Amino acid sequence: MEALTVKNITYRVAGRTLLDDVSFVLPRNKMLAIIGANGAGKSTLMRILCKELEPSSGSIDLCGRSLSSYTVAELARFRSVLSQHNTLSISFRVDELVMMGRYPHFSQQPSMMDYEIVHKALAETGMDSYSTRDYNTLSGGEQQRVQLARVMAQIYGQQNALLFLDEPTNGLDLLYQQNILQLARMMTGQGCTVVSILHDINFACQYADYILLLKQGKTIAFGTPNQVVTAENVLTAFQVSINQVEHKDYRYPLIFPALAPFPKNND
């Protein structure tokens, strides 16, 4: 059974078409990276997949059932979402915040298992020594890791779980960018399917099983990294020429932008 089946999704608002006939099928326990230039429709697609927006036409199936047939409460038990903006209006302690991930699973009081899961999620993101800190006093990177712990706790141990990440590496330094993607990768080994918007094409190639490349709401390519990330596709989607080099440590060639001609100084 497929984790996610997207058929002919189109989304129009105020006369503009933000997504145009997007389709793909994502098998279970795989990681999909959505890439594309600014305004390609990545976030819009993510919001539609998370039931935040209704598509104008098309259908989405989650684990063999239509997305629209789930209530938000049902979804929350096996699907969690890490958004891009994670400011707290009222400050909470780190462990209280991660416990919010368990809210869909208990009615009034958390069980021992919920506490255990919170503890594990904090340990896996390397934030266990911060558990009694005030969230608003943490640095941006630390906050992002705490939020990741929260969304991991939400779907911990669930079969057919789905994890959506909206630019999870934003604002993190190199080490934590790697850590977060490794954690996402690890989740796919534990019965979880991951969908992530990523900016860094190299990261997308190394960590994702599939890549969806969008441009102005249209699919440029969908498939495995070597099918999608070609010089031609990248030029079409990003208007940047690239060079590719092989390295023995990497599954796929690394890409980097070809040098743009330097502006001349005529003085």
Binding positions for another protein, rule: CB under 8 A: 47, 50-52, 72-77, 79-81, 83, 85-93, 96-97, 100-101, 103-104, 108, 134, 136-137, 154
**How far is Cα 24 from Cα 39, in angstroms, rounded to an integer?**
20
255-259's contacts with Cβ under 8 Å and 24+ in sequence apart are 255/201, 255/202, 255/205, 255/229
Name the CA dihedral angle for 151, 157, 159, 165, rounded to a multiple of 10 degrees: 20
106 or 250: CB nearest another protein = 106
Question: Are the beta carbons of 78 and 162 closer than 8 angstroms?
Answer: yes
CB of 103 to another protein, least distance (A): 5
Supply the minimum distance, in Å, between the C-beta of residue 88 and another protein: 5
Complex with another protein: residue 80 or 219, whichever CB lies closer: 80
Identity of the residue, 119 or 218, whose beta carbon is nearer to another protein in the bound complex:
119
Burial of 75 (0-12, 13-18, 19+ CB in 10 A): middle
- Alpha-carbon dihedral sign for residues 89, 90, 94, 97: negative
Q: How far is the CB of 13 from another protein (least distance, A)?
A: 12
Shortest distance in whole angstroms from residue 168 CB to another protein: 14
Q: Which is nearer to another protein, 76 or 172 (CB)?
A: 76
Nearest C-alpha neighbor of 93 from the set 41, 150, 38: 150
Q: How far is the C-alpha of 144 from the C-alpha of 136, rounded, in Å?
A: 11
| Complex with another protein: residue 57 or 137, whichever CB lies closer | 137
Q: What's the closest the beta carbon of residue 136 comes to another protein, in angstroms?
A: 7
What is Dmax (Cα atoms) for the chain?
73
The alpha carbon dihedral of 12, 2, 178, 85 has a sign of positive
Instruction: Please identify, using beta-carbon distances, which residue of 30 and 47 lies nearer to another protein.
Output: 47
Q: Where do runs of H (alpha helix) occur along the chain?
A: 42-49, 72-78, 94-100, 112-124, 140-154, 174-188, 201-207, 225-228, 231-238
- Min CB(119)–another protein separation in Å: 18
Q: Based on CB atoms, which residue is closest to another protein, 31 or 165?
A: 165
Min separation Cβ 20 and another protein, Å = 23
